[in-house]
Homo-oligomer: A and B are copies of this chain.
Amino acid sequence: MTRVRLDLFASLDGYTSAGSTPDSPMGEDWGPLTAAYAATRTFREHVLGDTTGGGTTGVDETYAAAFSEGVGAEIMGAAMFGLHTFPDDPDWKGWWGDEPPYGTPVYVLTHTAPRPPIPMAGGTTFHFRDAAIEDVLAEAAEAAAGQDVRIGGGIGTARAFLLAGLVDDLHVMTAPIVLGRGLRVWDDLRGLETTHKLTTEVAESGTIHLTFTR
């Protein structure tokens, strides 16, 4: 059965990176927030195309390897795709080059910049939707054909799905850093541990992996 999955990065104080710019699409705190994930063998191979077998192989890698397994469709916000950073470029195709690391349909939520689908190399096709998140989720679930739908971010889109109760599996990678600034991950989620079963695990990197599952 299709499940709705969401993976987030947070600091100890509950922030994720803010401040997307053309030079720093995820904001300047994104590097420290995601350092342990970026060091894993799966990330290096899957995202960077490093086939030398380098990268960490511990607890962080276990979660990283699961990250892309079984995902049949993705949903992301307009800012995550880059529509807010490059609002006047009708040919903008996202941050990920000619062959994005999705390999599935990707539904981009946008109220202001709907456009025709963009097929990319490697099986990714970007679709643009101006619709309620429940409707886009239904379409993505149909496209996933029994595999999972992943909510790809950014944090605003992720929280919209969380607050609407649409997420079955939430994974929060908490980096062992205090940011003191950014976008707040946790607001208005009181009692999430009562609607979902929570597990906590610490990786060799000091990263705290939280999973909420229902």
Contacts and interface: CB of A to CB of B under 8 A. Distances in A.
Given A14-B14, A202-B201, A191 B178 contact: yes
A210 interface: yes
A111 interface: no
A177 interface: yes
Given A12-B186, A14-B186, A193 B178 contact: yes
A94 B150 CA distance: 52
Contacts of A199: 206
Contact of A176 (B179, B191, B200, B206): B200
Contact of A12 (B177, B181, B206, B210): B210
Nearest to A189: B178
Contacts of A12: 14, 186, 193, 210
Interface in A168-214: 176-181, 185-193, 198-202, 206, 208, 210
A180 B187 contact: yes
A13 B208 contact: no
A160 to B, nearest CB: 17
B198 A206 contact: yes
Nearest to A191: B178
Interface of A: 12-14, 176-181, 185-193, 198-202, 206, 208, 210
